[in-house]
Chain A
Amino acid sequence: MSETRAVPVKAKAEYEGSKSIFGFWVYIMTDCVLFASLFATYAVLHNNTAGGPNAKELFNMPYVLAETLILLTSSFVCGLAILAAHNQQKRQVLWLFGLTFVLGLAFLGLEIHEFRNLYMEGNSWRRSGFLSAFFTLVGTHGLHITAGLIWMAVMMIRVSKSGLKLISLRRLTMLSLFWHFLDIIWIFIFTIVFLMGSLLR
């Protein structure tokens, strides 16, 4: 009775594939909205120091600049890695993503070190509204970086084992979108939280 129209398997796979990168882009855009709400919270609360230290007294600008440049380089190397992936150069993909990973890990290490120092000095998220907003905004970015690093490690194992198949390429493409996006968010954290915070009136 039911005349099922057989969809060719290959066409079906293509159809689903064509949506996955776009779908991931939509996810990234919603993540932008998440960060926007955290930026808005920070902007509203950044003067509420409750007698505690403000941004100018807390942050070491050369240190933050180093973090920024490391993450920017990581984003750039990730772009080169995805080019190599599109050209099926497996060894290059592995060492370029390896370098991206190491730079990302260095960034995360510096950030955790900074958070630890703040906490040990008694300037944790409980100190003031400003510090709560700061830790939430920068911490959420740090969690994204952590997730990106785990994803990258998994992808490197996959590529080294099964090569650069279409499905891996698709996932690497999404990973690179995610990584560039995190760098873009950091530009705004660097400008709004750190540069504006350190600016003398």
Chain B
Amino acid sequence: MSEHKTELEKEGAVRGTTASYVSGFILSLILTLSAYFVVRQNNDSTQPEFSYQSIITIILALALVQLFVQLLFFLHLDKESKPRWNLMVASFAVTVVLILVLGSLWIMHNLDYHHMESSPATDKAIIKDEGVHY
């Protein structure tokens, strides 16, 4: 009966327990709902508690926490036996993802900045930013 199970475990398959899936599910529910209600509360109230920037930070942080919750409780990345190839490939993927996303945003933001519609005020701002003096 458990012959296949140990076989799969040797191959690095998941070894979850019902408890790990249930706690992962409950934590994910809490995180999803709190992100939703933070945004909703902000949109409904006339005097929002948090600024736009801080809400963006809060919901991004909640998403990242949920990523880790699911990696640990659903994908059991922490229970992998050594050498931890899965974790290494995942770290590499995270590196590429960060370069791709942050790099794109950075470059496109910079491009936007240099293609701003020219008005005397923006020209002045650019001249000041770039430290150009006549």
Contact = CB atoms under 8 A, between A and B. Distances in A.
Interface stretch (A104-112, A120-128, A143-151, A165-173): A165-173
Contacts of A198: 39, 43
Nearest to A180: B74
A37 B104 CA distance: 9
Category for how many chain A residues contact B: 35 or more
Interface in A157-201: 164-166, 169-170, 173, 176-177, 180-181, 183-184, 187-188, 190-192, 195-196, 198-201
Interface residues of B, number: 53
Nearest to A188: B63
Interface in A29-59: 29-30, 32-33, 36-37, 39-41, 43-44
Contacts of B78: none
A190 B32 CA distance: 9
Interface of B: 1-2, 4-5, 7-8, 10-14, 16-18, 21-22, 24-25, 28-29, 32, 35-36, 39-40, 42-43, 52, 55-56, 59-60, 62-63, 66-67, 70-71, 74-75, 85-86, 89-90, 92-93, 96-97, 100-101, 104-105, 108
Q: Please provide the 4 A-B residue pairs with the shortest distance between their CB atoms, ordered closest to farther.
A: A40-B104, A29-B93, A36-B97, A76-B25
